[in-house]
Amino acid sequence: MPLEPGSRLGRIRIDALLGTGAMGDVYRGFDERLERPVAVREVRAERRTAATIRTRFLREARALAELDHPNLCRTYEVLERPEADYLILELIDGETLRERMRRGVDQAEALRIGLAIAQALAAAHARGLVHRDLKSGNVLLARTGEVKVVDFALAPFAGDAAARGRATAAFRAVSLDGPDPEPDEPEVPLDDDHPPAEHLTSTIRYMSPEQARGHRVTAAGNLYSLGILLFELLTGHHPYGDPLSTSSLLATARQGQIDWPADLALPPLLRRLTAPDPAHRPTAPEVVTALQAG
């Protein structure tokens, strides 16, 4: 049942509904003890799935709360309730990277955004945290100019196919920008050669080849997703072209064959981001160094 304006979660006053997504609602709230606005992200009880997945979600959410990095959406607190769990988050006034790219981004701005994402990944990876759904909808651009990566801990909840042992996995958008899904990405049937797994929860267009084949997402997989984002930022289009059917899109993602435009002057390190072999990709700190060097 939605939280009403004026209701409370402990010291958090609920002020307004910001959006509704697959996981639950997102609210604007106010922390009356610390006197600051916050975002309240709901994870409904029916979306908690297996106890092991919920345990990991809570563990990672608390680990994120210990991170204080300017390019990560700050997690202030995790509230556990019978009806739902709630993440109390930094409230970011701005737009998603997906929305920003629709208006076009010049090269200098593209590399600035890419650097900020790489810095966020480097900080998270240093703590053993990986993002299971890095995409343009999970990067927020604040009106102050800051770049914020969001939803690290939420991706394990995007589908419960593995917990139920079914032959399907859900690929759903799970980001603070509401229920707007990526195009042509409903629930995806996986064939016998690519069985479902708990980590097959991210948006197909940004998946690493190994994740699309059913392997666990890793730091190297995050770097591949960053490569896709940089490709979009620098070229104005996705490397897979126009929207494909779900089956074609998944097959393309599994191949991982992406050619950077020959006329695009980039350090070789950036081209390595989309290497099909994860062992050939740079680390997040290496990307940070390359982008800072210009």
Give the pLDDT mean for 73-90: 87
Residues 224 and 281 sit within 8 Å (Cβ to Cβ): yes
Percentage of the chain modeled with pLDDT above 90: 47
**What local confidence, expressed as pLDDT, does residue 291 receive?**
93
What amino acid positions are annotated as catalytic residues? 133
User: pLDDT grade, residue 46 (50/70/90)?
Assistant: low
**Is the pLDDT higher at 36 or at 62?**
36
Tokens of 219: 């730091």
Give the pLDDT mean for 117-146: 92
Q: Which domains does the chain have, with CATH numbers?
A: 8-90 (3.30.200.20), 94-293 (1.10.510.10)
Residues 206 and 250 sit within 8 Å (Cβ to Cβ): no
**Is the pLDDT higher at 276 or at 24?**
276
Q: Which of 51-65, 73-87, 127-141, 177-191 is predicted least confidently? A: 177-191
In the predicted structure, residue 223 carries a pLDDT above the cut 70: yes
Percentage of the chain modeled with pLDDT above 70: 78
What is the dihedral angle through the alpha carbons of 219, 223, 228, 229, rounded to the nearest 10 degrees?
A: 100
Task: Note the pTM of the prediction, 2 decimals.
Answer: 0.80
Please return the burial class of 146, using the count of CB atoms within 10 Å of its CB with bins 0-12, 13-18 and 19+. middle
In the predicted structure, residue 111 carries a pLDDT above the cut 90: yes
**Is the pLDDT higher at 82 or at 117?**
117
Give the pLDDT mean for 142-153: 88
Q: What is the mean pLDDT of the chain?
A: 79
Chain centroid offset of residue 142 CA: 16
**What local confidence, expressed as pLDDT, does residue 188 receive?**
36
User: pLDDT grade, residue 151 (50/70/90)?
Assistant: confident
Ramachandran bin of 128, using left for φ above 0, alpha for ψ from -120 to 50, beta for the remaining angles: left
**What local confidence, expressed as pLDDT, does residue 192 receive?**
33
Secondary structure class of 189 (helix, strand, coil): strand
In the predicted structure, residue 236 carries a pLDDT above the cut 70: yes
**Is the pLDDT higher at 29 or at 20?**
29
